[in-house]
Each structure stands twice: as structure tokens, then as C-alpha cells.
Structure 1
Amino acid sequence: MSYENLKKLFFKLDPENAHKIAEYSLRFANAIYPGIFSFVANKFVVDDLSLKQNIFNKTYHNPIGIGGGFDKNATMMAGLSALGFGYLEYGTFTPKPQSGNAKPRLFRLIDEKSIQNAMGFNNEGAVKIKDRVSKIYPNALPLWANIGKNKLTPNENALSDYEILVREFDGLCDAFVINLSSPNTPNLRALQEVSFINELFLSLKNLTKTPIILKISPDLAHEKAIEICQSAVKSGASGIIISNTSIDYSLSKSSNLQNFGGLSGEVIKQKSREIFKAVADELFGKTILIACGGISDAKEAYERIKMGANLVQIFTAFIYEGYGICKNLNDEIIKLLKADGFSHISEAVGVNVGAKIDKTKQN
């Protein structure tokens, strides 16, 4: 069945129920049909030397990763690997299990190929996830652990939650992603301040040699984003993900728009691209930059690469474009590299740093 036909069926379901079906498929398909993941990988994995990079002392076979929030409990690693991703991120998870916010909390903005979510870090907690990940790590692909604080942990004690998770998962991931930028945990974004970020990264770097990455909000003023990213790098951050979801509801005209939760997908493409450019123009060459937000086609992924991203992440586009998206993106990026006269992705990374964004190409 083509994904367009499958999507018609999925989109008749509640979004969270549809995600659960997708999770079960990616989690159990190989047990039901032994060898199916090998068959899928042969079809969807792009193995081309022009895309391979050594980052954080690991080989990334292509630059496309799945963003945090899709596989919160690390149940889909094998299935996602077979679909051609270059690296995988599990989480966001917290020290203690939590159910997240009240339902409904996930909404499709179909005409805009976007999503609005107010999930609230629902996850099974560190103990269960650690047991699961310990059985699959090290993995064929680099794995990143996206970590956050529990909802009931006050901000003055937030550092302790992050320290607990880094201690518990040291040796079970190839990078940690610090989530301070979700809009769905009360007051979490208030931690995006220089003082806390300095304290956080200085503390965590004493607990692990694993790279630690900061993920920021697209709703920050550009000057503030630059300031906190510079502080994070100075205090030990190995990379920056730009960006998380947005609460700028003026970006959407959808009749299904809610007044809560974070927007992802094509509605935040311009906003995410612009804040990425602002940070990249200051920090390119000083840290690893990862682009996320509104990336749904190879042209946009390639633009972010030329703006300074070594890696990109998708999430919402995976839902709208389907299981072939990694192959499509990677095949097209290879063509774009060749069209620009590049033989390797490293030659394209950052070539447009400092260049003005062409406003006529925003959408």
C-alpha cells in the first residue's frame, strides 16, 4: 500500500492512537515477520560516501535524524534504523514516569502539513527506558538521549533531574540532548537563562565525557538565543539543536489551531530557519549545529546544511511524507551536492554562513 493511501487511514484516527499503531508496527514487525527490517533497510537505506561524516567521534552515514518526541520510550529503534535514518534520538524522558498533559493533546493542522502538540513529556521513566536501551546499545546508528525534568520538579531543583539522567544513561547514548525548550512543561522555558545554562553544563561535563547538546526554542529573541548558545558552548556544550516547537500561534491559519501546545512542521519553517541563521552566523565553526523545524524536503534540508548545519532532524515531515522520506531526502541531497560541484557534504556545510536570506524563497 502506498503511504498516501495509508495516511488516509491513519488520518481518520485520533493522532495519538495513530502514533501508537505506528509504534507497534515499528516495534514488533520483525518479530511477526522475521527479516522484514533487513528487507526494508535494503530498500530505504542510502549508503553513499558523499554523505558520511565523523561527528562526536562517531560515523554518521547520512545527515537525517529523527527528532526527540517521536520515540519517547526507545521502543522503535530497530524499525527506525531500517527506514534509513542516519541517527536516532529517544526521549524526551524524565527521571520518574509521568503521564503527560490531559488529552486531547495532539492535533493535526493538515492543510499546513503541521502538528500542534501539548504532550508534556509523557514517558515510562528512567528505570524502564534504561533497561530497554541497555539491550540495544551500542547500536548500528548513533543514539541520542533527549532528557528533561519532571513536571513536579520545581525549577530550583531542575539541575538535579538532569544530573540523575546523565549519571544513569552515561554509556547508553552517543550524545545527550538537554531539553529546556518544550512549551508543554510549566516554566521549563524559564530555564533558558545564561546563569542556569552555565551551571547546568559545567555540572554535567563533570559527570560524563559523552557530548551534550542544547536544544533551544524558536521563540527566543535572536540576541537572547545567541547569548545562551554562546554561554552553553563556553560551559561545555558540544552542539546546539535549533529549534524546538513554537508557541507563536500567529503562524497558523488552521481551523484546528488550539491556544496551547507547540507548533511543528511547515508553519514554523521560516521562524526556525531565521533563528538558525542568527545562531549559525555567530557560532559556526565553534560547535556542531543541528537544524530542526519545518524541514520537509531536500531543498530545505540542503539550505540549512549550507547555512551551517552538519546534521538535520525531521519529525512532522515523517508523519506527512511517510516511510520513504529518508531515502528521498538523502537521494536528493546527493543530487544537490553534485549540482553545486561538491563531492562531499562537508564541502557544503556552512558555505552560506553570513549570507542574507532571500525572502522570496521563504516558503
Structure 2
Amino acid sequence: MYRRLVRPALFRLDAEDAHHLTLRALEHASVLPGWPRLLRRVTAPADPRLTQTLWGRTFPGPVGLAAGLDKNGVAVPAFTALGFGFLEVGTVTPRPQPGNDRPRLFRLPPDEALINRMGFNNEGKYALLSRLAAVPHRAAPVWVNIGKNKDTPNEAAVQDYLRCVTGLYDVADGFVVNVSSPNTPGLRALQAAGDLATLVRAVVNEVDAQRVRTARRAPPVLVKLAPDLHPADFEASVNAVLEAGADGLIISNTTLSRDGLTHPRRSEAGGLSGRPLTERSTRLVRDAYRLTGGRVPIVGVGGIFTPEDAYAKIRAGASLVEVYSALIYEGPGLPGRLNRGLSALLARDGLRTVADAVGVDA
């Protein structure tokens, strides 16, 4: 029904207008008494083979929602109700900011892709704090993706990330350090090994200080890297993240590459996501798994449309996977289809749990 009726109607609208319309509907659905919990009983991963314990926390399934779709955490109950094993909200910055000028989001249907140059548009850490505090009982972990304000110079960027940690520590089940968006000028320069190590070490230390303050189990700190790094720079960045004490990696963010695209809007500035990233991000997951030796969990993201796409990333070394663009093209039934398909693939290969598949092709 989504592909035949809903998607054609939404695709007649401007991409960002359709995004806001959908998010408002999910926001309203989130406050319907009992509805998200009732639906979750139907959509939640039913196969115990999909359950994992990572960083001391249970993940009911390996399929999560990537950052960028619910920047301000307005629809956490509704997204959880769709069957996701975890959610990533944000990117959030210390102060609210409007982002880049519109138009800034573009669909490329023949390529099953999106291009965005949103620019960390969000309502700031206090708005997100209020919303996440209103959802104390969560069916799945909620991570917070953090970044710096556009007008904060790189030499002061660390303080922006720390302000997000201190302001949101009590409501975050994990922090994702975003240094890889192509839409904030100069941000990707923070991926250089030296700068990245300094930033990640500061975030890890602040999380530990907050753990002592609150006597609450520390949420994991993950770092999201771009797919456009030179192999030597990618290796240096991965090593810097590990040495700085991060708990995991997210591979990868959007790309500036336009290889193989056919849509007339392929030349729009911004980060490309969706089907064109499928194989590239899987290769990078495999590279990261080999570099880390499996010492920290990896989250694979980029072009996951089918259970086979998700399984390939898991076998390449990802313990968890995330979707965004495919949800736009495939609709709200996607998490359930991915979970069911992964269960079937694990059964086919005689694997007891999804953890048994992690890295077997690496």
C-alpha cells in the first residue's frame, strides 16, 4: 500500500515538505495512549537469534534508525513502534540553528538515493532534553548524535560536543560523535587523526565524569566517519578513535561522490545517501573490522534496502545496521521485513545468533 498509494502522493510534494508532514504525523501518533506499545508487540523482532547484548545493553534487533530523520526526537515512540532495535536522533547542537537555505533535500528515484545539505538544522540540546525526558520507558535504546554549531570555529569545537554531553547525559543511551557531515563547513577536517583523537578523548572523559556524578552506567561513545577518506586517512582515523577510548564506530556517513548516478539532480551539492552507497559502505565496514580486529562494535549504514544488504554488512563486521533513505523509498514496513529476512538468512546458514554472523566474511 505504501509503494502504490502513499509514496506516489508524498513524492509529488517537495522532499522536505513531505518529510515534515510525515514527521508531524508520527509525532501525533507518538502521543496516542497505548498505541506505540500495542503496535510494538506486533512489529518487534520475534526471533531471539536477533537479540544481542552490546555495551551492557540489550538490543532486541540489529536494525536501527539512522540520525537525520528525527533530528529533534519528536517521534521516538512511533519510530520504536515500527520495530526498530534502536534509534539515533539528531544531529543536535548546543544552540538551535536553522541550517542551510532551502531547497536542501532532493530525491533521486531512479538511483534510489537522496541528496541533502540540511546543515544540522535542529532546535538545540534543551529542546531534545525535554522531549527525551518525556519518554522514560523505552522499548529500544535511543542514541544522541552530537555536533558543533555552524558558527563555532574548529578550534573551539570540542566545547560544543562537551556541552551536548553534559546537557543530554541523563537521557542518552549512547552518544555518536558526528565529524563527517559534508554540510557544515570545515567539519570533516575534524576527522584528521590528531584532531579526532583530541575530540574523542575529551568526549569519553566527559562521559566518565558524568558517570561518576550520576552513578549511572555510562552510555557508549561511537564515532561516525565519512566514506570519502583516503584509505590511509581512514586507517589513521580508525586507529585514533580506538586509542582515544571510543566504544564503537558508525560506517559510514553520506558521500560527496556522484559516481553512477542518472537523475538530473545528481549535481546538487550535499551528501548522497541510499542505494549508491550499498557496496561502498559494506567494503568500509569490512576494512574497519579488519583494522579493529573486532575489538569494538561497528554499526553499518548506507544503502540497506533488503535483508541481504543488511546481512552483507553484518557478515562484513557490523554488529548493528541503520537505515534512512530506504525508509523513504520502502515505507514503514521496512524494519519488519529486514528483521524477518535476517532471521531466515541466519536459519539458512545454521547460525544460532546474529552475533555469530558478525565478521565471518572479513
CA distance in 2, matches of 1:202, 1:251: 38
| 2:60 alignment counterpart | 61
Cα deviation digits, residues 160-188 of structure 1 (max 9, x gap): 10011111111211110000000000010
Greater fraction helix:
2
Cα shift at 1:139: 2.0
CA distance in 2, matches of 1:21, 1:40: 21
| 1:346 alignment counterpart | 355
Cα shift at 1:3: 4.2
Task: Give SS of 2:177's match.
Answer: strand
* TM-score normalized by the length of structure 2: 0.94
CA distance in 1, matches of 2:173, 2:126: 19
| 1:8 alignment counterpart | 8
**8 Å Cα contact 2:100-2:121 kept in structure 1:** yes
| 1:230 alignment counterpart | 239
Task: Give SS of 2:28's match.
Answer: helix
Structure 1 segments, 4+ long, off by >4 Å, are none
| 1:49 alignment counterpart | 48
Q: Are residues 1:264 and 2:270 paired? A: no
**8 Å Cα contact 2:2-2:331 kept in structure 1:** no
Change (3 A) 1:30 1:188: closer
Listed as ranges, the matches of 1:34-113 within 5 Å are 34-113=33-112
Cα shift at 1:119: 0.3
| 1:210 alignment counterpart | 219
Which runs of 5 or more structure 2 residues have no equivalent in the other structure?
208-217
| 1:29 alignment counterpart | 29
**8 Å Cα contact 1:251-1:268 kept in structure 2:** no
Cα deviation digits, residues 246-272 of structure 1 (max 9, x gap): 001234221122331000000121221
CA distance in 1, matches of 2:230, 2:104: 27
Task: Give SS of 2:317's match.
Answer: coil
| 1:167 alignment counterpart | 166
For residue 181 of structure 1, what is the amino acid of its counterpart?
S
Change (3 A) 1:298 1:7: same
| 1:135 alignment counterpart | 134
Cα shift at 1:35: 3.8
For residue 14 of structure 2, what is the amino acid of its counterpart?
D
For residue 28 of structure 1, what is the amino acid of its counterpart?
H
CA distance in 1, matches of 2:30, 2:243: 44
Change (3 A) 1:254 1:288: same
Identity value in percent = 37
| 1:19 alignment counterpart | 19
CA distance in 2, matches of 1:154, 1:87: 32
CA distance in 2, matches of 1:34, 1:169: 26
Q: Are residues 1:330 and 2:339 paired? A: yes
For residue 68 of structure 1, what is the amino acid of its counterpart?
A
Listed as ranges, the matches of 1:108-187 within 5 Å are 108-187=107-186
Task: Give SS of 1:264's match.
Answer: strand
Cα shift at 1:331: 0.4
Question: How many equivalent residue pairs?
Answer: 352
Change (3 A) 1:235 1:17: same
Task: Give SS of 1:333's match.
Answer: helix
Cα shift at 1:112: 1.0
**8 Å Cα contact 2:30-2:75 kept in structure 1:** no
Which runs of 5 or more structure 1 residues have no equivalent in the other structure?
354-363
Task: Give SS of 1:337's match.
Answer: helix
**8 Å Cα contact 1:309-1:350 kept in structure 2:** yes
CA distance in 2, matches of 1:41, 1:310: 22
For residue 311 of structure 1, what is the amino acid of its counterpart?
L
**What's the Cα RMSD here?**
1.3
Moved more, 335-344 or 275-284: 275-284
CA distance in 1, matches of 2:21, 2:329: 15
CA distance in 2, matches of 1:43, 1:126: 33
Cα shift at 1:43: 3.3
Out of 247, 251, 257, the position equivalent to 1:248 is: 257
Cα deviation digits, residues 65-91 of structure 1 (max 9, x gap): 000101100001000010000000110
Task: Give SS of 1:215's match.
Answer: strand
